[in-house]
Structure 1
Amino acid sequence: MNKTIRLVHHQIKTVTSWPLVGISLLSLVIYLFFLMVPLSLESGNPLWVLLGRFHPLILHFPIVLILLVTAGIILAQLKPGIIHPSVIRAILGVSVVASLFAIGAGYVLYLSEDYSGPLVSNHFYGALVTGSCLSIATIFYELRLVSDQVSRAFFFGFLILTNASLAYTSHLGGSLTHGEYYLSEPINSLLPAKKSDKAPEDMLLYSDIVATILETRCANCHNENKSKGDLLLTSHSALLEAGKSEKTAVIPGDPNGSELMVRILLPEDHDDRMPPEGKPGLTESEISVLRFWIETGASEEMTKGEIQDKPVLAELEQMMPEIQQAQYKILEEKEAFDEALKELQGMASDRGIEIVPDELANGDYFGLKMKFPPSPFGGRELQEFSGYFPHFSRVSLASSDVTDDDLYYLGKMTQLRRLVLQKTAIEGDGLPYLKDLPLLEELNLSFTLLDDASLLHLLSFPSLKKVYLFGTSLNDEVIEAVQKHRPDLEIILEEGPFY
């Protein structure tokens, strides 16, 4: 009799488990779809924007539920019977559904509002890992796919992975919203304030003052890692270019026509205001300085000592303590960069290559190029610089010994924007190693053995804008087909630059 009751109870439990298992399996399929199937949405479409903006509203709900179910599991292990399994099951079920909605809304936000950059991509992939691990943990909790002991081990393992991935993804989300140094900034504020040794009169109005304002207020959403609307505000040249709206951020001499000033002065509740609602806007002093800088021609050379406008000077005097402290931080970072550059140049001196700051990346990353006549340089030599791979943004290996296999190492240069491989032994089989580079815009494959099939790999390069194919044996029909499927990709049948 007791055996029959236990059997019936087990069958009832199994039947009631299947809906939750089904939801978890459906979530896994959707996450896999997000990962494998490239989608695009109409940028700025009000419906998609509305759905996407539910992401910050609901994302805290699954976070709390995941932490709650983890605490409940730990408590149940310490004191068996204190929490009924049905309560754990209910929280797991709601957390799986809530995670699916939060990740789905985030995906729509990612596609509809022109976010780009590795920080955004890593945040998205971290969310997919978190949701997938939670779903798998729930499946093992509900179904005894193997022995009870092994199933429990799998459940606890994936629950730990869920929490670890949640912490990482939440950190990236905080960095996206509040800046890369969101967590470390309060700690740094406890340390004694340090100031730049540069005299106030010698400070450059743009690089020392205006750039500091933009870095503090605007660069969180407009940097190399997260360029909302394809607008960068991290260099003087970028400010003079138009973003996706085709409106120029700064028009020298015309503050009223400069999109930067227009966005800054919009009402707080306006969708296009910079910074957006919920983030600290610019102070009146900062706005006055920005307007003055644009009115006087948006110069890079003007110093504070050259300014004669008394109201602006008064505003600058009020801002100077914070500006000097920020300038000290900039100098510290520059010293670290110069030290790394010195070490890299020492390594490069006897390897037939040259390493310099990449001016096209605002001098924040390194450029590598072959010396001529070229010395032997291949995959073995390239690996010696592996510790600095994330800090290269421009690489020219023209006439080097690199092969398709060596493209694996170049695929680890996550900041790479321009890559020259002309006159190498590249045949194209290694191009898939480069397809996940989030910032790669320009690729030179002139005078290589690239074949027609390998050219199709370029269709999956997310940010590629320009490719040089002079001197290859590619068929015109294949080039036309690629151009048809990627009209945004400029295919140039010229040799192209060596660097």
Structure 2
Amino acid sequence: MRISFSSPTAALRFFVLLSVPSWASYTSADIDYSTEIAPILEQYCVSCHGSKKQKSGYRLDSYAAFLSPGDSDENPINPRDPMGSPLMEYLLLPKSDDYAMPPEDEDSPSGDDILKIAHWIYQGAKEGDAELARLPIEELLSPEEFAAVEDLRSRGAIIHKRGQDEATLFVDIQSLVTTLSSNDISNLEKIATHTIELNLANLSSSNIDWLKSFTELRSLNLRNSQIPDDAIETLNTLNKLQTLNLFGTNLNNKGLETLLVPLAGKLYVGQTRASQFGIESAKSRNPNRAVYGIPKLEEVKAITDNARSSSNSFNPIPADG
């Protein structure tokens, strides 16, 4: 006997009724997006709705994209209403239908997978990380970590979340870099893995080995700092860096040659001991990294003096990208 349905919504209701034992197994605990929903999408959906291909202008390779409309103005998911969520209708359409997800020639998620998605929607279609990111800093961090923040703040440090909906920190300690104590460093290490942006401008230290604990760092400002000769080894461990500011430091050509970070992003080396030749060499070694330098005052004076007799050759700012 063939059963027909008046709509995909009716099909979903029927499917749920047939699967009461499986459905009941999902009611005892919240379903986690990152560990339970995202892997299903990655296996069955992202090949058609990801970074390389977006059928109907719809992407499912991130939580934000998953909940956003594609070419249609219709929200694909209505939290707490799986029966009214278009995504569920597409998942339950027959394979022969042009709007079926996944299409006819692709594997489909199992009944348990579809029920899991339906119940996740029923629970509110939440992302655990997103909920965490909205917490105030005192709830985001452990009591020990927040105590370290408060201690550093009392010493003049500026520490806050990078955004209202971000679970990462901006840390600026340039007001205490000249008096940085072992206790300050211990406190910094306690919040290191939460820190994405760190300002150490004007740092005067014979040891920056403690920076190795900042494994998630994306932006590091060491402008005008007196960094030690072995600093390059430490900096090279920060392989998630996207911006590194070494302006005004004692970086030389040898150091620049061995500096690997950022692997991709922006590196500022103006007013250092690195020559223009060293900067150009650094650019050629890694095309994914933009290296910025500015001319030193003595170099500008030499260029100006040499160009006095020929206005055509006068160019006080060398092309350093």
TM-score by length of 2: 0.55
Using the aligned pairs only, state the percent identity.
16
Matched residue, 2:186: 383
Matched residue, 1:416: 217
Aligned length: 232
- The secondary structure found in structure 1 opposite 2:70 is helix
**Cα distance change on mapping 1:348 and 1:192 into 2, 3 Å:** farther
Partner of residue 230 from structure 2, selected from 409, 429, 450: 429
CA distance in 2, matches of 1:298, 1:428: 58
CA distance in 2, matches of 1:220, 1:327: 17
**Cα distance change on mapping 1:317 and 1:482 into 2, 3 Å:** closer
Matched residue, 1:445: 246
CA distance in 1, matches of 2:57, 2:273: 49
Matched residue, 2:10: none
One-letter code aligned to 2:172: K
**Cα distance change on mapping 1:303 and 1:342 into 2, 3 Å:** farther
CA distance in 1, matches of 2:286, 2:125: 47
Residue 436 of structure 1 contacts residue 462 of structure 1 at CA under 8 Å; is this kept in 2? Answer: no
CA distance in 2, matches of 1:393, 1:466: 15
CA distance in 2, matches of 1:194, 1:221: 18
2:69 is equivalent to residue 293 of structure 1: yes
- The secondary structure found in structure 2 opposite 1:294 is coil
CA apart distance, 1:479 = 1.2
CA distance in 2, matches of 1:324, 1:291: 9
Residue 431 of structure 1 contacts residue 457 of structure 1 at CA under 8 Å; is this kept in 2? Answer: yes
CA distance in 1, matches of 2:289, 2:190: 32
**Cα distance change on mapping 1:448 and 1:218 into 2, 3 Å:** same
2:188 is equivalent to residue 352 of structure 1: no
Matched residue, 1:394: 197
Matched residue, 1:193: 29
**Cα distance change on mapping 1:431 and 1:378 into 2, 3 Å:** farther
- The secondary structure found in structure 2 opposite 1:376 is helix
CA distance in 1, matches of 2:163, 2:289: 24
**Cα distance change on mapping 1:456 and 1:191 into 2, 3 Å:** farther
Matched residue, 2:299: none
CA distance in 2, matches of 1:388, 1:434: 18
**Cα distance change on mapping 1:217 and 1:376 into 2, 3 Å:** same
- The secondary structure found in structure 1 opposite 2:154 is coil
Residue 292 of structure 1 contacts residue 312 of structure 1 at CA under 8 Å; is this kept in 2? Answer: no
Residue 352 of structure 1 contacts residue 375 of structure 1 at CA under 8 Å; is this kept in 2? Answer: no
CA apart distance, 1:443 = 0.7
Residue 148 of structure 2 contacts residue 190 of structure 2 at CA under 8 Å; is this kept in 1? Answer: no
CA distance in 2, matches of 1:329, 1:448: 38
**Cα distance change on mapping 1:331 and 1:358 into 2, 3 Å:** closer
Matched residue, 1:475: 275
CA apart distance, 1:473 = 2.6
CA apart distance, 1:464 = 4.3
Instruction: List alignment gaps of at least 5 residues for structure 2.
Output: 1-24, 90-116, 296-321
Residue 194 of structure 1 contacts residue 328 of structure 1 at CA under 8 Å; is this kept in 2? Answer: no
Matched residue, 1:114: none
Matched residue, 1:487: 287
One-letter code aligned to 1:389: A
One-letter code aligned to 2:198: V
CA distance in 2, matches of 1:328, 1:455: 38
CA distance in 2, matches of 1:463, 1:410: 17
CA apart distance, 1:338 = 4.7
CA apart distance, 1:323 = 3.5
CA distance in 2, matches of 1:433, 1:298: 50
**Cα distance change on mapping 1:215 and 1:297 into 2, 3 Å:** farther
2:119 is equivalent to residue 343 of structure 1: no
CA apart distance, 1:449 = 1.4
Instruction: List alignment gaps of at least 5 residues for structure 1.
Output: 1-188, 196-211, 223-230, 232-238, 262-273, 276-285
CA apart distance, 1:383 = 2.9
**Cα distance change on mapping 1:318 and 1:216 into 2, 3 Å:** closer
**Cα distance change on mapping 1:346 and 1:417 into 2, 3 Å:** same
CA distance in 2, matches of 1:355, 1:330: 21
One-letter code aligned to 1:488: N
Residues 428-481 of structure 1 show CA distances to partners (whole Å, capped at 9, x for unaligned) of 4311112122312221000111122111121x3473421011221311111111
Residue 353 of structure 1 contacts residue 371 of structure 1 at CA under 8 Å; is this kept in 2? Answer: yes
**Cα distance change on mapping 1:332 and 1:389 into 2, 3 Å:** closer
Residue 266 of structure 2 contacts residue 291 of structure 2 at CA under 8 Å; is this kept in 1? Answer: yes
Residue 253 of structure 2 contacts residue 275 of structure 2 at CA under 8 Å; is this kept in 1? Answer: yes
- The secondary structure found in structure 2 opposite 1:385 is helix
CA apart distance, 1:190 = 11
- The secondary structure found in structure 2 opposite 1:487 is coil
CA distance in 1, matches of 2:74, 2:202: 41
CA apart distance, 1:491 = 0.2
One-letter code aligned to 1:343: A
Residue 367 of structure 1 contacts residue 392 of structure 1 at CA under 8 Å; is this kept in 2? Answer: yes
One-letter code aligned to 2:155: R
CA distance in 2, matches of 1:328, 1:439: 20
Taking only aligned residues, the RMSD between alpha carbons, in angstroms, comes to 4.8
**Cα distance change on mapping 1:430 and 1:327 into 2, 3 Å:** closer
- The secondary structure found in structure 2 opposite 1:415 is coil
Residue 219 of structure 2 contacts residue 241 of structure 2 at CA under 8 Å; is this kept in 1? Answer: yes
TM-score by length of 1: 0.37
**Cα distance change on mapping 1:363 and 1:310 into 2, 3 Å:** closer
